[in-house]
Structure 1
Amino acid sequence: MSGSFYKVECPDCENEQVVFGKASTEVACAVCGTTLARPTGGNADIEGDVLETVEAR
């Protein structure tokens, strides 16, 4: 499985959460429930600000 993990900041509550770059399901913020990533069939559409790449593959 190739893909990267990104630290994403929630646009609503500023919570930082790690998200897989090729997420196959919708990823919600653990604090407020805002959608952080939507699946697109390839790379996920990330809604928040990407702060850093945690692990690149």
Structure 2
Amino acid sequence: MAGNFFSVECPDCENEQVVFGKASSEVACAVCGHTLARPTGGKAVFEGEVLETVEAR
């Protein structure tokens, strides 16, 4: 299973969090609980701004 990890900024509290690019469940911000990524069956849809690729595989 190849996939990338991304650093995503929360639009509400500006917290940076690392998210897997093919997330299979919703990923919530650890600080405020805002949804950062939603699964689509393949690549996840990010609701926050993607700042950088942390690890590319």
TM over 0.5: yes
User: Partner amino acid for 1:40?
Assistant: T
**1:55 aligns to what?**
55
**1:38 aligns to what?**
38
1:6 is paired with a residue of what secondary structure?
Answer: strand
Q: In 1, Cα distance between the equivalents of 2:7 and 2:45?
A: 14
**1:5 aligns to what?**
5
Identity of aligned residues (%): 82
Gaps of 5+ in 1: none
1:1-57 deviation per Cα after TM superposition (whole angstroms, max 9, x unaligned)? 100000000000000000000000000000000000000000000000000000001
Q: In 2, Cα distance between the equivalents of 1:54 and 1:25?
A: 20
CA RMSD of aligned residues (A): 0.3
Q: How many residues align?
A: 57
Gaps of 5+ in 2: none
